[in-house]
Amino acid sequence: MVPRTVLLRLLLLTSALPWPLAADDTSLVISRFQSYLRINTAQPQPNYGEAAEFILAQARSLSLEAQTVEFVSGKPVIILKWAGTDPNLPSVMLYSHTDVVPVEQSKWIHPPFEAHIDGDGRIFARGTQDMKCIGMQHLEAVRRLRRSGFQPVRSVYIVFSPDEEIGGHDGAKKLAESEVFRKMNVGVVVDEGAPSPSENYRLFYGERSPWWLVIKATGAPGDGAKLYDNTAMENLAKSIETISKFRASQFDMEKSGLKGNGEVISVNMVYLKAGTPSPTGFAMNLQPYEAEAGFDIRVPPIADPEALERRIDEEWAPASRNMTYEFKQKVSVYNKHGKPVLTATDSSNPWWALTEAAVREAGGKLGKPEIFPGATDARYFRVLGLPAIGFSPIANTPILFHDHNEYLTKAEYLKGIQVYESIIKTLASYANDS
């Protein structure tokens, strides 16, 4: 629990923050953001080299220690350090990923890598929300804190990592498992959250684990005019119907407000493969021997994974109907201690209360804590038992993750810098041995 005296001291510290950005600073801040956005780091061929050069140049301008590690060749993890006055205390890690998802250029009203600013102050570019804004806000907040003369008690690491959009296996996962990370002595991780269409910022304390399931059915092939028992298509169709009913039941709980988006088990069929190919398409008079379907399942850490596995084994792909299944990916909902992969939001975790206090001190409003509906790199740190907080200081903005015409307004971006300034100052000033 954060002592009242510590919180009071931190609030007094943050109250002295130089909130307003000078007019001449604003154009430079936005220009730096645009420069980062213009580097095309879209999968599957992200320009990590140019991004790394840009980030390292920013680090030099801030006099930050810099280290580049390639656990996989051509995929740099960039680690910047602002040394604290007490190196024995666990550090604060501010995390972002450098890659972005692909774009369909024809669907954008402005080119997705030009960072065009329209008359309403909207910056259009891939990565404005997910999540180049966060990485730059970390750097800009540090720039302002250094200018003000602030010195952190705890060391602050600003990490830029590759490949989050394709699973993070060559970036965050390898970093979390490395000796490099162990030596960083991280006490808390702050990673991405999500925009909020309302005035309330969103804080995330967990996320759903991806289970990518493939179900296969087999049956005797035969004449398309005959009726057979247990054909591949019939058995797969029965499974799809059963799965659809389960999906509907989960969706009903979300739509009724009984559970949040991140609290239900989502199931979506992502492909269906069946039929016998022919020169003109598929044979219409032949029942196939085999059929399969793929499903993207997201399991919240508050769910019962064993019960879901029984459901898959007994109802969705029972051997009695000549069915088998396999997981292409199956991320555990438990951490290394065998507990649900959740970051505590109560008094057992002082970082949560400190973060909430810092956001409010910066003038931000907060909704109730949430479980992130998708997957982020934070999971690789939570599985180690570390507290990881998902937060993107974006309010009053439509959620455009992975969507066409992704944008962020200049005003919201600049306000986010002030919020991160408050967060960094608060977390890095916390002197208890946590």
- pLDDT tens track for 117-135: 999 999 999 999 999 999 9
Q: Nearest-CA neighbor of 209 among 383, 396, 400?
A: 383
Percent of the chain residues past pLDDT 90, beyond the cut: 89
Contact 176, 377 (CB under 8 A): no
Q: Which residue among the candidates 140, 163, 164, 377 is catalytic per the annotation?
A: 164
The domain ranges of the chain are 4-207+340-429, 209-299+303-330
Contact 194, 329 (CB under 8 A): no
Instruction: Report the topology of domain 4-207+340-429.
Output: Aminopeptidase (3.40.630)
| pTM tops 0.75 | yes
Average pLDDT, the chain: 93
- Across the strands, what pairs with 81? 65, 157
65 is catalytic: no
- Report the top-level CATH class of 209-299+303-330: alpha beta
Alpha-carbon span 400 to 315, nearest angstrom: 36
Tokens read off for 319 = 């051997």
Q: Which residue among the candidates 99, 170, 356, 421 is catalytic per the annotation?
A: 99
Provide the pLDDT confidence category of residue 226 given band limits of 50, 70 and 90: confident
Is 130 known as a binding-site position? Answer: yes
Alpha-carbon span 399 to 238, nearest angstrom: 35
Is 97 known as a binding-site position? Answer: yes
Residues 6 or more apart whose CB falls under 8 angstroms from that of 340 comprise 206, 301, 302, 333, 334
Distances (CA, A) of 291 to 31, 232, 233, 279, 294: 53, 6, 6, 20, 11
Q: What is the pLDDT of residue 21?
A: 54
Is a pLDDT exceeding 70 seen at residue 12?
A: no
Is 165 known as a binding-site position? Answer: yes
164 is catalytic: yes
